[in-house]
């Protein structure tokens, strides 16, 4: 853990591991207090009404308990793993069907055996992505963040930056191009 009390990626991964192997409720409580409010905010930002956002945030956290043993640090960082659970539950919600299984099975087929090497590569990828996000210009970071959240965000960005919609779309492409250059440049 860092000095400011905010758990870092390694600490979060360790907590998930403790939930998986020991069903450790204190570890779970720490994960919950860190992630639930962020999930709640994230899901609201992605356009869900606040009560639905909170329900799904809760569902995500229950999935974290249930599926902790599926967490594979060689595949994704803790926040990335939890993000993908939230994304899938949000999609399920929007399609009004309950299926927690499909995404998981699909991913399972793709998987190769984890190794020390992939673990390192994953940690490196997480760091690289975060570094690249920090290096983007403020406008590009805004464009990217907003466009990640919803389709409506394109028009939201258009309003915010006072640009026509078509221009926003090309700015999204530019921001992605820049991100790509940053990601490749560091690797």
Partner 1 sequence: MTIRHHATDETLMRYAAGQLPAGPARVLAVHLAGCPCCRSRLAEFDAVGGALLEAMPPAPMAPDAFAAALRAIDAQEHALPAAPFLARDAKAEVPAALPGGVPLPAALRDCEIGPWRWIGLGVRASAVKLPEDRQARLTLLRIGPGRKMPDHGHVGTEFTQVISGSFSDGYGRYGPGDLSEMDQEIEHQPIVDPDGECICLAALEGSMRLNGFFGRLVQPFVRL
Is position 10 an interface residue for partner 1 (rule: CB under 8 A)? no
Q: How far is the CB of 40 from partner 1 (least distance, A)?
A: 4
Asked whether 99 and 59 are in contact (CB, 8 A), the reply is: no
Determine the Cα–Cα distance for residues 73 and 17; give it in Å rounded to an integer. 9
Is position 183 an interface residue for partner 1 (rule: CB under 8 A)? yes
Q: How far is the CB of 116 from partner 1 (least distance, A)?
A: 18
Closer residue to partner 1, CB minimum distance, 88 or 157? 88
Closer residue to partner 1, CB minimum distance, 87 or 161? 87
Is position 159 an interface residue for partner 1 (rule: CB under 8 A)? no
How would DSSP label each residue in 126-162? HHHHHHHHHHS-HHHHHHHHHHHH-THHHHHHHHHHT
Q: Which residue has the tokens 């929007």?
A: 94
Is position 151 an interface residue for partner 1 (rule: CB under 8 A)? yes
Residue of the chain from 10, 91, 120, 165 that contacts partner 1 (CB under 8 A): 91
Residue of the chain from 3, 4, 5, 101 that contacts partner 1 (CB under 8 A): 101
Q: How far is the CB of 126 from partner 1 (least distance, A)?
A: 5
- What phi-psi label fits residue 48: left (phi over 0), alpha (psi between -120 and 50 degrees) or beta? beta
H or E element, residue 72: none
From 75, 49, 51, 79, select the one nearest 64 (Cα to Cα): 79
Residue of the chain from 15, 27, 56, 82 that contacts partner 1 (CB under 8 A): 82
């Amino acid at each position: 853990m860092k000095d400011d009390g905010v758990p870092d990626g390694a600490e979060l991964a360790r907590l998930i591991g403790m939930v998986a192997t020991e069903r450790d409720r204190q570890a779970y409580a720490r994960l919950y207090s860190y992630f639930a409010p962020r999930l709640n905010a994230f899901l609201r930002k992605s356009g869900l009404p606040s009560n639905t956002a909170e329900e799904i945030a809760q569902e995500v956290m229950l999935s974290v308990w249930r599926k902790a043993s599926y967490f594979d640090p060689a595949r994704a960082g803790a926040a990335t793993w939890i993000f993908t659970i939230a994304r899938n539950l949000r999609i399920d919600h929007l399609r009004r069907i309950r299926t927690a299984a499909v995404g998981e099975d699909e991913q399972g087929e793709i998987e190769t055996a984890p190794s020390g090497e992939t673990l390192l590569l994953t940690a490196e990828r997480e760091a690289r992505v975060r570094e690249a996000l920090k290096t983007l210009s403020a406008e590009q970071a805004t464009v990217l963040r907003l466009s990640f959240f919803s389709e409506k965000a394109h028009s939201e960005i258009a309003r915010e930056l006072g640009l026509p919609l078509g221009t926003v779309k090309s700015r999204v492409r530019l921001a992605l191009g820049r991100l790509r250059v940053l990601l490749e440049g560091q690797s």
